[in-house]
A and B are shown apart, each in its own frame.
Chain A
Amino acid sequence: MASSPYFSLAVLFVVALGFGLAPLGLAWVWQRVFSPAKPNAIKNAIYECGLESRGDAWVQFRSAYYLYAIIFLIFDVEAIFLLPFAVAFTGLGAAACVSMLVFVLLLIEGLAWAWAKGVLTWA
């Protein structure tokens, strides 16, 4: 068995397992011997900055909000690319300006689509 090329891997695996489990076991033994558990209602309550928590923690959000995230992305990407474009504007040729115009038009197309779909009206 020791001649197997995977023997050292098996040894390492056992050591790694022990490394993880030994502290857990020691903590369990320590708790059993010395430290008694004293749970109570206040201690087990949901933690919420000292105030008593109200309602359910499992609040659901409308999945339709993803549209706002996407529209935000339009302006986000636009701002990132427009700033260096504006800085270097005086040194740019006609080709650069046209390609930038195409880029902005593509983004505006997305916005126009969202507008036409009525996403921008708050329901």
Chain B
Amino acid sequence: MAESLFGANRQMAVDENLKIELGKQGVFVTTIQELYNWGRRSSIWPMQFGLACCAIEMIATTMARYDLARFGSEVFRPSPRQADLMIISGTVTKKMAPQVVRLYNQMAEPRYVIAMGACAISGGPFKQGYNVLKGIDRYIPVDVHIPGCPPRPEALIQAFMTLQKKIDGQHLTGEERPRHLDEQAPGEFPVPEFGEHDLDPPSNPGTWTVPKIIQ
């Protein structure tokens, strides 16, 4: 019912060419889904949260020279309750990982994650360190990975635009709908605990599969 009512399904929406033609005549046609996604992607509020040197680049991105406000994301929230986006900006140590995962859990849906820099995506130059998590995607689902050590502000802006494109393409209903609209999809991501030698569990099997070593 919701699909026909809100034009949420792609098949039910107005034909793309017809929409362009109508636009030339000054008639604006849209769907609830497009409005919803437009609203969400135009005001992604990041969490005020920095881990290491990448955070300096993140701060630079928000300042006047790079001006993240152009993308509607200048409002860094000091509380996970009000944030839509978590930017993992820097090395995630095993000491810090439970806190990061807990903060992610405490954010309201829909929530997104950008893993910024080599450390956040894989451990980077500190990968061999006993206390460094080899990528935050072991515990929480990451939407955009940015390589670089640290990535330049342009790279972070590119990640924002990639995330905006991703949000734009999300469907309200149907099988491909995102997690926050799916009742069956899990909303809880277990917070790891400090084990005897490593974090326990070492990864979340729901979001990350241990790569197989083929000899």
Interface residues of A, Cβ cutoff 8 Å to B:
33-36, 38-40, 42-43, 45, 47, 49-52
Contact = CB atoms under 8 A, between A and B. Distances in A.
B109 interface: yes
Q: Give the dominant DSSP class at B's interface.
A: helix
A47 B181 contact: no
Nearest to A41: B188
Q: Give the dominant DSSP class at A's interface.
A: loop
Given A40-B187, A42-B188, A50-B100, A34 B105 contact: no
B10 to A, nearest CB: 16
Interface residues of B, number: 22
A35 B109 contact: yes
Considering residues A39, A43, A51, which has the most beta carbons from chain B within 10 angstroms of its beta carbon?
A: A43
Nearest to A52: B102
Contacts of B173: 34
Contact of A50 (B103, B180, B183): B103
B106 interface: yes
B117 interface: no
B188 A36 contact: no
